Amino acid sequence: MDPIHYSVAELAERFGLEVRGDGARMVSGVGTLAGANASELSFLSNGKYTAQLLSTRAGAVVLREENLADCPTTALVAKDPYVTYARIAALFERLPAAPAGVHPSAVVAASARVSPGASIGPCCVIEADAVVEDGAVLGPHCMIGEGCVVGAQSRLVARVTLVTRVTLGRRVLVHPGAVIGSDGFGLAFDTDHWIKLPQLGGVRIGDDCEIGANTTIDRGALEDTVLEEDVRLDNQIQIAHNVHVGAHTAMAGCAAVAGSAKIGRYCMIGGNAGVLGHLELADRVTITAKSLVTHSIREPGEYSSGVPLQDNRLWRRNAARFKHLDEYARRLAALEKDKSDD
Amino acid sequence: MDPIHYSVAELAERFGLEVRGDGARMVSGVGTLAGANASELSFLSNGKYTAQLLSTRAGAVVLREENLADCPTTALVAKDPYVTYARIAALFERLPAAPAGVHPSAVVAASARVSPGASIGPCCVIEADAVVEDGAVLGPHCMIGEGCVVGAQSRLVARVTLVTRVTLGRRVLVHPGAVIGSDGFGLAFDTDHWIKLPQLGGVRIGDDCEIGANTTIDRGALEDTVLEEDVRLDNQIQIAHNVHVGAHTAMAGCAAVAGSAKIGRYCMIGGNAGVLGHLELADRVTITAKSLVTHSIREPGEYSSGVPLQDNRLWRRNAARFKHLDEYARRLAALEKDKSDD
Amino acid sequence: MDPIHYSVAELAERFGLEVRGDGARMVSGVGTLAGANASELSFLSNGKYTAQLLSTRAGAVVLREENLADCPTTALVAKDPYVTYARIAALFERLPAAPAGVHPSAVVAASARVSPGASIGPCCVIEADAVVEDGAVLGPHCMIGEGCVVGAQSRLVARVTLVTRVTLGRRVLVHPGAVIGSDGFGLAFDTDHWIKLPQLGGVRIGDDCEIGANTTIDRGALEDTVLEEDVRLDNQIQIAHNVHVGAHTAMAGCAAVAGSAKIGRYCMIGGNAGVLGHLELADRVTITAKSLVTHSIREPGEYSSGVPLQDNRLWRRNAARFKHLDEYARRLAALEKDKSDD
């Protein structure tokens, strides 16, 4: 493959940036401040890396105007260097080739509608009445279940399973091992055993969503499970049936949302955090890692649960005391009462 | 496909219910009280939806006798409306067609025994000496490893992997991405590196179990990992080697049980709860979400750990104090002693 | 298949053990002290099973010299019976046959380099420029993405996906459902929506690592995600981009490590424990199950967070008090001050 390269001046032109230094310098890749070489571009966004700027060997650096004085090389001045860097770096990404057409090893039902502009990889299975729109890319081992829709320009990297009644919007990116549209966990207890509730709803995923590796999203019991546009889910996330996630919300790895919870827009759910069923979270709520949300949250803000990590020996002593906290509070109140009665 | 429809009188007859209203009304689907239309049936089980009953447009509603007065439409009176609704809704579920036979893209070992009444989907792999019994359905991308058995009428929705020495009972339902029979995590530390313990046992799954998407169940080290009948596992659950789960126990998403733990019958394990290895839980134990079970539980009941969610600023103050809880308890006791010494 | 059998004397010779009893006794399998029969070998490592030794019917037992007096059968004396047992048990493991060559249903890119001594199972997909070295075994449904390398003697049990820029060392064992080299979760927030950061790094896995079922390891953003040699990961673990895990570290099921964290050598991370991003853990750090690591750890030792499990009714009272812990601490200090002011 030919190398990809741009002059600093071309990048400035394309992204509306100001150059300080040698605009003719050629850049053929990106790197960290500490690791980039003279043909690579780097960036400074987080103030704690300022020291690394001083000694960087990068060919060019994207930074804020206030860091210009410390920059030993060509600079590209941006209001938000991280966002600008993300756009530039995307120029250097090489996605695997995905030629339009259906690989001969794929199995496509006669009633499925696959756009001639879509790319269907080896060992994919596309079932009855499924639709794959123009420019969509399915890597190896994907399954598109009966009646599911993959929107235009969406990309299923590999081994993605859409079970049934799943609709992906446009430019949705799904990573390997994700399962979308599996049965919700609906059970009724009948005297001495469980009866399964059929899961008759579907899943609707909005445009520009990203779904991480081995993440699971169940379909609704009666109505749909919904992710609005630009929802970003990391790996191994569990979204139960009838959950509704507002636009632009992001969840870190191993987060889980129980059935029928409604998460607002622009929320941030930390790693391995959990939200119990039927709760509502307002817009712009942040939940820190490993917290459990046990009641609805009406106000934007940051919420947490958990206790701090300690040396195991100290922790054991404190944790044992937790079992008597209510008693301590009563004893404290009794002492205060004695005091005031004196 | 032809629509499925039943008269209210037919449903009453089939499930032993009492009709109040128009028994000739035709029902062709199910819906929520708020969303159902005149050709759909709904149900009222949870008292907090009683207000929705008053304004429902459903064609018929399954409910308890005590709610009859508030029902604006045809009613079907049931002792347990949720269970009855589950049975009725099952009539309206359309499972994907699963014709008996082996799809030409599937790879079946010569020594495997696949019933002519089983359905083997595209890209399945069935290895030596495996058995697939009558009426079993394997969706696309399933693997049945050497010597594994899939019982009659079991359904592997898609992309299910049974590794080795796995036996599924009858009517077992397994969702995509599940891995059953993978190596248990058995290691011995030899001076400065790990030695692997071969995992020589298998997995036995009882009749009527359900295994969620991306759930993992390891095979035993020497003896088998066992799920008795009617065990219900949600998505992304981890069952380690030699675990034994009693009949009718249900676990919510992301729960995990460590090696050799023995869970009783009719237990309920909440989402992301954990059980440490070698513990025993009695029958009818409930563990709330995200709790960690660190000792055996001998009595039925509900058990919990964790601390409540708070605004992050308040939480930080309280969490910091947790590190000194033992000291506070001692100081409290000292004050009390001073008091009594006065 | 012919049964595998060894005399006790042969085992003693092979592993440098001392025989007490009948060296001619034949052993054809292994079992627990309670379950082994006269043709099976067992072991005693953990003192709490000593009572089971007295009544064992095993043909031979591996044990420490100090337990010889209680052994009713032929004994093999070892310094570390668990390690010795692991080595002996491995003799009795039968791995599925894996004939060298490419299964006709596999899809191999013309530019891929697959050793003639490798075994490529049914429905595998090997993409452009990938390399599979001698003696490597790929079970069914594996995908080796563009440019990935599978080292000699490595085994991908089934349905393992290596996305891109992944290098596995030698003798790496990967269980089904694992995804290695998926996109790291890198996002920049641009005014009102997310921008994706391309993930341009790879993943390097050292020799003798083991990766559990449905575990996910993301590739780096710019540099590589790294597991040094002999790292052992259980099932459903999440390793984010740019994490570095030191040699011989083991993690139990459902543990998660956030981006750019650096874990030392010989660490033990408990089940469902979490490590926040950008932290460093020294060598020989143990984190107990479900703990959250929120700051770097400089000293070896055992660390914990969490509160103990209680009956739900008691727990509710204590948990409610946690929300006022800071206030209690202040009130306690106030009482003490009053006291000293007296």
For residue A329, the distance in angstroms to the closest alpha carbon of chain C comes to 7
Q: What is d(CA C303, CA C88) in angstroms, rounded to the nearest whole number?
A: 34
Whether residue B203 contacts residue B167, with contact meaning beta carbons closer than 8 Å, is answered with yes
CA dihedral in degrees (B316, B319, B325, B331; nearest 10)? 10
Whether residue C239 contacts residue C233, with contact meaning beta carbons closer than 8 Å, is answered with yes
C191-223: pLDDT as tens digits:
999 999 999 999 999 999 999 999 999 999 999
Chain C positions in Cβ-Cβ contact with residue B223 (cut-off 8 Å): 32, 35
Q: What is d(CA B75, CA B64) in angstroms, rounded to the nearest whole number?
A: 9
Tokens of B184: 């248990």
Region C313-324: mean pLDDT is 97
DSSP letters, B291-329, are: -EE-S-B-S-EEEE-----EEHHHHHHHHHHHTTHHHHH
Q: What is d(CA C36, CA C223) in angstroms, rounded to the nearest whole number?
A: 50
Strands B101-102 and B107-108: unpaired
Chain B positions in Cβ-Cβ contact with residue C290 (cut-off 8 Å): 274, 292
Q: E strands, C25-158, where?
A: 26-27, 29-30, 40-43, 60-63, 74-77, 101-102, 107-108, 113-114, 119-120, 125-126, 131-132, 137-138, 143-144, 149-150, 155-156
Q: How crowded is residue B2: how many other Cβ atoms within 10 Å of its Cβ?
A: 4
Chain B positions in Cβ-Cβ contact with residue A274 (cut-off 8 Å): 254, 271-272, 289-290
Q: Which residue has the tokens 């000291």?
A: B327
Q: Which of C180, C197, C328 to mutate to test the interface with A (most CBs of A within 10 A)?
A: C197
Chain C positions in Cβ-Cβ contact with residue B123 (cut-off 8 Å): 123, 141
Q: What is d(CA A60, CA A80) in angstroms, rounded to the nearest whole number?
A: 16
Roughly what angle, to the nearest 10 degrees, separates helices B312-322 and C325-341? 60
pLDDT value, residue C96: 78
C177/B161 touch (CB, cutoff 8 Å), yes or no: yes
Q: Taking 80 as the threshold, does the pLDDT of residue B3 lie above it?
A: no
Q: Taking 80 as the threshold, does the pLDDT of residue B17 lie above it?
A: yes
The CA distances from residue B82 to A108, B88, B89, B92, B308, in Å, are: 39, 10, 10, 16, 31
Give the confidence band of A47 by pLDDT, cuts at 50, 70, 90: confident
pLDDT value, residue B94: 84
Proportion of chain B above pLDDT 90, given as a percent: 95
Stronger pLDDT, C279 or A339, i.e. the higher one: C279
Q: What is d(CA C40, CA A269) in angstroms, rounded to the nearest whole number?
A: 52
pLDDT value, residue C63: 97
Supply the mean pLDDT for chain B: 96
For residue B311, the distance in angstroms to the closest alpha carbon of chain A comes to 4
Region C176-199: mean pLDDT is 97
Strands B74-77 and B18-20: antiparallel
Nearest Cα to C325, choosing from A331, A298, A326, B174?
A326
Instruction: List the subunits that have 3+ CB pairs under 8 angstroms with B.
Output: A, C
- Nearest chain C residue to A338, by CA: C335
Q: What is the DSSP letter of C267?
A: -
Q: What is the 3-state secondary structure (H, E, C) of B177-197?
A: CCEEEECCCCEEEECCEEEEC
Tokens of A137: 């890319």
Q: Which residue has the tokens 């992304």?
A: B236
C196/A339 touch (CB, cutoff 8 Å), yes or no: no
Q: What is d(CA B82, CA A197) in angstroms, rounded to the nearest whole number?
A: 9
- The CATH code belonging to domain B102-303 is 2.160.10.10
Whether residue B262 contacts residue B278, with contact meaning beta carbons closer than 8 Å, is answered with no
Q: E strands, B87-191, where?
A: 101-102, 107-108, 113-114, 119-120, 125-126, 131-132, 137-138, 143-144, 149-150, 155-156, 161-162, 166-168, 173-174, 179-182, 187-190
- Judged by average pLDDT, the poorest of A48-57, B135-144, B265-274, B298-307 is A48-57
Q: What is d(CA C159, CA A214) in angstroms, rounded to the nearest whole number?
A: 13
- Judged by average pLDDT, the poorest of A213-217, A281-285, B199-203, C3-7 is C3-7
Class of residue A279 by CB neighbours under 10 A (exposed 0-12, middle 13-18, buried 19+): middle
The partner residue sitting opposite B309, judged by closest CB among A145, A303, A335, is A303
Supply the mean pLDDT for chain C: 96
Cα angle, residue C271 at apex, residues C267 and C272 outer, rounded to 5°: 110
Q: What is d(CA A281, CA C265) in angstroms, rounded to the nearest whole number?
A: 41
Stronger pLDDT, A51 or B95, i.e. the higher one: A51
C25-36: pLDDT as tens digits:
999 999 999 999
The partner residue sitting opposite C83, judged by closest CB among B195, B258, B322, is B195
Q: Dihedral sign, CA of A144, A182, A263, C238?
A: negative
Give the confidence band of C48 by pLDDT, cuts at 50, 70, 90: confident
Q: What is d(CA C250, CA C124) in angstroms, rounded to the nearest whole number?
A: 29
Q: Taking 70 as the threshold, does the pLDDT of residue B1 lie above it?
A: no
pLDDT value, residue A1: 56
Chain A positions in Cβ-Cβ contact with residue C301 (cut-off 8 Å): 311-312
For residue A300, the distance in angstroms to the closest alpha carbon of chain B comes to 10
Q: What is d(CA C271, CA A254) in angstroms, rounded to the nearest whole number?
A: 13
Q: What is the 3-state secondary structure (H, E, C) of B203-230?
A: EEECCCCEECCCCEEECCCCCCEEECCC
| H or E stretch covering C232 | strand C232-233
CATH classification for the domain delimited by A6-90, as one of 3.40.1390.10, 3.90.1170.50, 3.40.50.970, 3.60.21.10: 3.40.1390.10
Tokens of C110: 């013309």
Domain ranges of chain B: 6-91, 102-303, 312-341
The partner residue sitting opposite C140, judged by closest CB among B125, B287, B295, is B125
The partner residue sitting opposite B164, judged by closest CB among C96, C122, C306, is C96
Number of residue pairs across A and B with CB atoms under 8 Å?
Answer: 226
Q: Taking 80 as the threshold, does the pLDDT of residue B289 lie above it?
A: yes
Query: Per the CATH hierarchy, to which homologous superfamily does domain B6-91 belong?
Result: MurE/MurF, N-terminal domain (3.40.1390.10)
Q: Name residue C262's beta-bridge partners.
A: C244, C280
Supply the mean pLDDT for chain A: 96
Could you tell me which residues come within 8 angstroms of residue C195 by beta carbon, excluding any fewer than 6 positions away?
A83, A86, A87, C187, C188, C189
Q: Name residue B61's beta-bridge partners.
A: B42, B75
* Residues of C tagged active-site: 241
Region B151-155: mean pLDDT is 98
Give the confidence band of B250 by pLDDT, cuts at 50, 70, 90: very high
Nearest Cα to B177, choosing from C159, A234, C157?
C159
Give the confidence band of A48 by pLDDT, cuts at 50, 70, 90: confident
A141/C161 touch (CB, cutoff 8 Å), yes or no: yes
Nearest Cα to A293, choosing from A261, A266, A322, A249?
A261
Q: Which of A141, A175, A193, A241 is catalytic?
A: A241
Q: Name residue C76's beta-bridge partners.
A: C19, C62
Q: Please tell me whether residue C325 adopts helix, strand or coil conformation.
A: helix
Could you tell me which residues come within 8 angstroms of residue C315 by beta carbon, excluding any fewer than 6 positions away?
B303, B304, B305, C309
| H or E stretch covering B8 | helix B8-15
Whether residue A183 contacts residue B77, with contact meaning beta carbons closer than 8 Å, is answered with no
A9-37: pLDDT as tens digits:
999 999 999 999 999 999 999 999 999 99
Q: Dihedral sign, CA of B14, B17, B22, B25?
A: negative
Region B28-41: mean pLDDT is 95
A137-147: pLDDT as tens digits:
999 999 999 99
CATH classification for the domain delimited by C101-303, as one of 2.160.10.10, 3.40.50.300, 3.40.50.720, 3.40.980.10: 2.160.10.10
Q: Taking 90 as the threshold, does the pLDDT of residue C97 lie above it?
A: no
Q: Which residue has the tokens 């089940």?
A: C271
